[in-house]
Amino acid sequence: MKRLYYSIKAMTPLHVGVGTGLGHIDLPIQREVHTKFPMIPGTAVKGALREYHLRSLVTSELNISELDKKLQECSDIDVNGLIEKFGCKNKAGNLAFSDLRILLFPVKSLNGIFAYITSPAVLMRLAEDIGVNAPGISLSSDSKAIVFGNTVKVNDNLVVLEEFTFEISNDNGSLKKWLKEAFEKLGIDLDEISERLVILSDNAFNDFVQNYTEVQTHVKIDPSTGTVQSGALWTEEYLPAETFMYGIIFEVRNNKSEDTDLTKDLLPDYLHLGGDITTGKGFVRIYEGEKEG
C-alpha cells in the first residue's frame, strides 16, 4: 500500500475540539483516550483538504455550494479527481488519512524563549509508524533531559522549562543522527529546530501536554447594549503555535485500478484546520515527506 508521510506546524493557536467539556474548560481540544496526548482526527484533515481543493475550482459559473453538491452526488463528471480521492455519497474514496499525532510541543524556556519537547514514547511510536528501528533513549529519572543545542540551556548542566528544572543528559550523537533521518521522512529539517529540541521523560512530557496548552476566555457582546451578553462567557483550549504533529496518507484504491499517484499536488503549503477561522486561529504549515510503497 502506498503511503505519504507528512507533518504540520501550527502557525497560530489551533482548536480541533470535542464539543462541550466536562472539566473546567468549556471547549477542550481532542485527545487520545489512552495517553491524553493531543491529536487531530484524520477526518478533520480530509475535510479541510477536500474544501481547499473545491475552493480552488470556484468560477463565476460554479460556486462552492454547486461544486460541493456535484461532489456529494457522485457527479458523472469527476470534479478534478476529487471523487476519486475523497469519495462521495455512494463511493468510497481512494485515500485514507491517519489521525495526526503529537511530535513536538512548544514550552516556555528560561533561556532562548521556548523549547520543543518530545519524549521516548512519542519517538518510539514515530519509529513504528514510519517503519524504522526504534532509537535507544535513556533517561534515568523524570528530572533528566536530553538537550541537543545550547539555545535553551541555562548552563551545561541545567535547562529550565516553565517552572521546572531538568538536569541535562548528553546524547552521544547516534540519537541525533536517527532523529535527522526520521524527521526527514516527515519533511522536517532537524537542523532548523535541533537547537531548541529537548527530550523529556514520558511522565514529564505528559504533564506538559495536558497542563500547558493555551486556554483563552471568550465573551459575546450584546449589540443592543454594547456589553457582555448574559451567560455568554466561555473558555476554549488551543494547541499552541509552533506545535508539530505528523500523519500518514494511504492509497487504499477502493475504486481505482490505474496506477496513478493520487497524492500528487494533494498537500498545499498552508491549510486551515478546526474552528475559529474568522479570529485568525487554526492556520498550519504542511511539510510533505517521503512516499513509500
The ranges assigned to domains in the chain are 2-41+99-292
Instruction: Give the torsion through C-alpha atoms of 7, 9, 13, 14, to 10 deg.
Output: -10
Which whole number is the average pLDDT over 55-63?
77
CB 273 within 8 A of CB 9: no
CB 50 within 8 A of CB 111: no
CA distance 191 to 124: 21
Chain mean pLDDT for the chain = 89
Express each pLDDT in 166-225 by its tens digit.
999 877 678 999 999 999 999 999 999 999 999 999 999 999 999 999 998 887 777 777
Q: What single letter denotes the amino acid at residue 42?
A: G
